[in-house]
Amino acid sequence: MRTVVCIKQVRTLGDEVEFTDDGRDVDPDYVDLALNEWDSFATEEALQLKERLGGEVVVVTCGPEESEAALRRCLAMGADRAVRIEGVAAHDPIGVAHALAEVVRDEEPDLVLCGVQSSDSVQAATGTALAELVELPRVAVVTRLEPGDGKATAHRELEGGLVDVVEVDLPAVLTTQTGINQPRYANLRAIKQAEQVEITVRQAASAPAASRVRRMFVPPRGEGAEMLGTDPGEVARRIADLVKERTA
Amino acid sequence: MSVLVVTEHLQGTVRDVTRELVTAGRPLGPVAVAVIARDPGPLAAAVDVEGVEEIVTVAAGADEFEGDTYQQALEALIESRRPRVVLLGFTVNAMSYAAAVAAKLGLGYASDVHGVALEGDAVIATRSFYAGKVSAELEFPGAETVLLLLRPTTWPPAEGTGGAAVSSLAVEVAPPRARHVEFTEPAATGDVDITQADVLLSIGRGIGDADAIAQFEGLAAKMGATLSVSRPIVDAGWMPASRQVGQSGKTVKPKVYLAFGISGAVQHLAGMKASGTIVAVNTDPEASIFGVAHYGAVVDLFDVAEELEKLY
Ligand SMILES: Cc1cc2nc3c(=O)[nH]c(=O)nc-3n(C[C@H](O)[C@H](O)[C@H](O)COP(=O)(O)OP(=O)(O)OC[C@H]3O[C@@H](n4cnc5c(N)ncnc54)[C@H](O)[C@@H]3O)c2cc1C
Ligand SMILES: Nc1ncnc2c1ncn2[C@@H]1O[C@H](COP(=O)(O)O)[C@@H](O)[C@H]1O
């Protein structure tokens, strides 16, 4: 079983934000980087399938050189190979899907896993667009996966926790939800070894953009919350009073 | 400038988000609503609300949602009607096919949109990035049709009756590659019903590790509150799913909702933003939860918990 896992290095903001000169994104000096939470579940799922069924796990990302840290984290978890694609506009999930599709076509995998969403973009779109571009069936928001002969049973989690059990032909693209497994931690030795792995770098072909950021800004908060101060004792007293008042 | 809304339905009932899409679409142009189902008739009656000019039914597929069927039906609808804007809810079903349609037909596309406007002929969508800390306006250069997935519970649902004209579109659909088998409900654990509580003490990833659960169960009991949680606490196996607040958990509306160490992701807010009084305790002053909270404190949740213990 060869599984391609698409992973993203996501950005998180602290309590200070600055924008780039063109105003279309945040200043990279103000962001922290991490492997997208959903993608650690996708990687774990691929590794567990490999442990049961044999095969290989290939992790792919679109992003600048610094995003190789996220690939190496997946290599340390146990992925076999890593590919990085350069030259893709961030924030356009369909543009990203076009770039990922080139790698998926070349790898001819039995399964492709993406996360449901990236925590910094929340498009929940890349996997579904990718499936279309490589002409594979897809299931989104999967909380359980049971591959069989030429098809798989997948649990699709709907609003309110209702589960839609679906049968999907393989190969397929699935987007995995948090909680589908418990992602493993990589040990120090594996982290060291992952540093040595050669990452394949490719250049993306140009693809049409489905959207473009015109302007980014800090949203107005309206009235906002009334702040209760920073003294824990005072905060606790105010909370106790509110609970008493509002339930009287 | 025409608008096409796609009805979302589940187990024979039209979901509320559909009527919200009608409200969002009206300022953009005349609204047509599509109903895709094996038997669309009864559902079409339910979407005939004020502001709908036209209802188009596509009799295709099974009773329940299948992504391939919806994709083929929506592609046929777009090709025959050439709408300027197509509106879907940002729901699990839409996540399963909308981006595929956009990728195939080369449409403009964005998800989790919470504002839409027309500037002359240009569609401008507003959405959030970076855990809700930043907003962005998106443009869709060169796109004849723009497909937008709108954030649920952002627009009020359209009410009343419309008297819309009903037509149908015949679409041949190929057998789906992913097929609905059955629904299963999350296992009931015989645990408490968090939707009935007057006061919820709700804890998130900010509690750090499993050891803190017992402490907060104890505190909730002392306060006369019920303990609820955000999704990561359930994913980690620390509390049962019956305690989860949010889009894939329970929608709650207690008199008081105390959010401790919860960032306020959109899927969490969807389940609690209608609460009577919301109090957020979070060490990050820019956390999105402060955008919906009535009261807030930027302070360590364990310090507040310790002080609360003393008061009860
Ligand atoms: C389809 C779908 C459905 C989903 N459904 C749900 C759902 O039903 N419910 C749900 O909750 N999520 C849901 N999610 C997940 C959601 O996107 C978020 O990942 C999740 O809500 C984050 O939980 P959190 O706020 O506890 O964790 P985080 O986002 O990690 O936030 C932790 C917060 O704790 C604060 N903190 C840390 N330490 C302290 C301290 N000592 N004192 C005070 N504050 C501290 C941090 O500043 C941070 O703001 C869903 C996601 C998807 C894609
Ligand atoms: N730049 C990227 N490189 C590789 N995979 C990505 C990238 N962006 C998104 N993905 C994949 O698509 C999923 C959904 O992301 P999104 O559509 O941005 O919410 C992620 O969990 C990843 O699996």
Domains and CATH numbers, chain A: 2-203 (3.40.50.620)
- pTM score above 0.90: yes
Identify which of A123, A153, A178 has the shortest CB distance to residue B231: A178
Q: Give me the mean pLDDT over the B146-158 stretch.
A: 97
Q: At what angle do helices A126-133 and A93-107 cross, to 10 degrees?
A: 50
Q: Does B175 touch chain A (CB under 8 A)?
A: no
Amino acid at A83: V
Ligand 2 binding pocket (C-beta < 6 A) is A 6-8, 36, 38-39, 42, 60-63, 93, 96, 100, 114-115, 117-118, 121-127
Closest to B87 in 3D by CA, of B113, B122, B64, B59: B113
Identify which of B111, B279, B298 has the shortest CB distance to residue A125: B111
Pull the structure tokens for residue A97. Answer: 């899907």
Give contacts of A206 with chain B, Cβ < 8 Å: none
Nearest C-alpha to atom 14 of ligand 2 is from which residue? A117
Nearest C-alpha to atom 31 of ligand 1 is from which residue? B263
Q: Give me the mean pLDDT over the A89-115 stretch.
A: 96
The Cβ of residue A21 has, within 10 Å, a number of other Cβ atoms equal to 6
Integer Cα distance of B248 and B145 in angstroms: 31
Q: Is the pLDDT of residue B109 over 90?
A: yes
When pLDDT is cut at 50, 70 and 90, the band that residue B190 belongs to is: low
Q: Is the CB of B94 under 6 A from ligand 1?
A: no
Closest to B175 in 3D by CA, of B59, B60, B12, B37: B60
Ligand 1 atom closest to residue B208's alpha carbon, by position in its atom list = 38
Residue pLDDT, tens place only, A20-37: 999 999 999 999 999 999
B259, containing H or E segment: strand B256-260
ipTM, interface predicted TM-score of the complex:
0.97
- B286 contacts B262 by C-beta, under 8 angstroms: no
Beta bridge partners, A211, equal none
Going B271 to B274 to B278 to B282, the CA torsion angle's sign is: positive
Distance from CA of A43 to the nearest CA of B (A): 16
Nearest C-alpha to atom 23 of ligand 2 is from which residue? A114
Q: What are the Cα distances from residue B171, in Å, to A117, B39, B70?
A: 31, 14, 11
Report the pLDDT value the prediction gives residue A27, as an integer from 0 to 100: 95
- B303 contacts A232 by C-beta, under 8 angstroms: yes
Look up tokens 């928001």; give the residue: A141
Report the pLDDT value the prediction gives residue B1, as an integer from 0 to 100: 73
- Name all domains of chain B by residue range, CATH numbers in brackets: 3-168 (3.40.50.620), 194-311 (3.40.50.1220)
Q: Does B210 touch chain A (CB under 8 A)?
A: no
Q: Is the pLDDT of residue B195 over 70?
A: yes
Report the pLDDT value the prediction gives residue A196, as an integer from 0 to 100: 96
Integer Cα distance of B17 and B154 in angstroms: 9
Q: Give me the mean pLDDT over the B216-245 stretch.
A: 97
Integer Cα distance of B54 and B44 in angstroms: 10
Nearest C-alpha to atom 37 of ligand 1 is from which residue? B206
- Alpha carbon B246 to its chain centroid, in Å, reads 9
Q: Count chain A–chain B contacts defined by CB atoms under 8 A.
A: 288
Give contacts of A123 with chain B, Cβ < 8 Å: 99, 110-112
Residue pLDDT, tens place only, A160-180: 999 999 999 999 999 999 999
Q: Is the CB of B132 under 6 A from ligand 1?
A: no
Distance from CA of B86 to the nearest CA of A (A): 14
Integer Cα distance of B153 and B158 in angstroms: 12
**Pairing between β-strand A200-203 and β-strand B146-150 as defined by DSSP bridges:** unpaired
Which of B129, B151, B230, B235 to mutate to test ligand 1, by most ligand atoms within 8 A of the CB atom?
B230
Beta bridge partners, A57, equal A3
What ligand is nearest to the CA atom of residue B246? 1
- Alpha carbon B184 to its chain centroid, in Å, reads 20
The whole-chain average pLDDT of chain A stands at: 96
Which of A177, A228, A235 to mutate to test ligand 1, by most ligand atoms within 8 A of the CB atom?
A177
Identify which of B130, B277, B293 has the shortest CB distance to residue A26: B130
Give contacts of A207 with chain B, Cβ < 8 Å: none
Pull the structure tokens for residue A158. Answer: 């709907």
